[in-house]
């Protein structure tokens, strides 16, 4: 298992907007970095919810009502795994995908 604490971000001059016909679109890496930051935020939020409730590994979502604590635990745990996978995919694409600028 490999964990990263820091992701190197090239300066924006190396990630310029691209022209597609008459449209200007963001560089592929900008989109990947944005997805990475959003997923990281969600993981931190879910982790904080769990720590506030006293659950270390699997947080419970505070916003769910009418469900048992076990159902909340499973739902939030699956959300946490989903966000973690988004982080993994973004890092993989940044490091290994030719279209993402890696390789």
Higher-confidence position of 70 and 90? 90
Highest mean pLDDT range out of 8-22, 42-56, 64-78, 89-103? Answer: 8-22
**How far apart (Å, rounded) are the C-alpha atoms in residues 43 and 91?**
15
Q: What average pLDDT does this structure show over 50-68?
A: 53
pLDDT for position 48 = 81
Q: pLDDT band at 33, cuts 50/70/90?
A: very high
pLDDT cut 90: percent of the chain above it: 17
Decide: 94 and 30 in contact? Cβ < 8 Å: no
DSSP E strands: which ranges in the chain? 18-20, 23-25
């Amino acid at each position: 298992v490999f964990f990263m604490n820091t992701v190197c971000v090239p300066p924006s001059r190396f990630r310029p907007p691209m022209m597609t016909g008459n449209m200007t679109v963001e560089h592929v890496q900008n989109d990947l970095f944005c997805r990475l930051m959003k997923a990281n935020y969600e993981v931190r939020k879910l982790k904080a919810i769990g720590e506030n409730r006293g659950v270390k590994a699997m947080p419970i979502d505070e916003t769910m009502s009418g469900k048992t604590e076990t159902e909340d635990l499973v739902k939030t745990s699956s959300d946490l795994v989903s966000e973690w996978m988004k982080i993994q995919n973004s890092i993989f694409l940044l490091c290994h995908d030719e279209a993402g600028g890696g390789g």
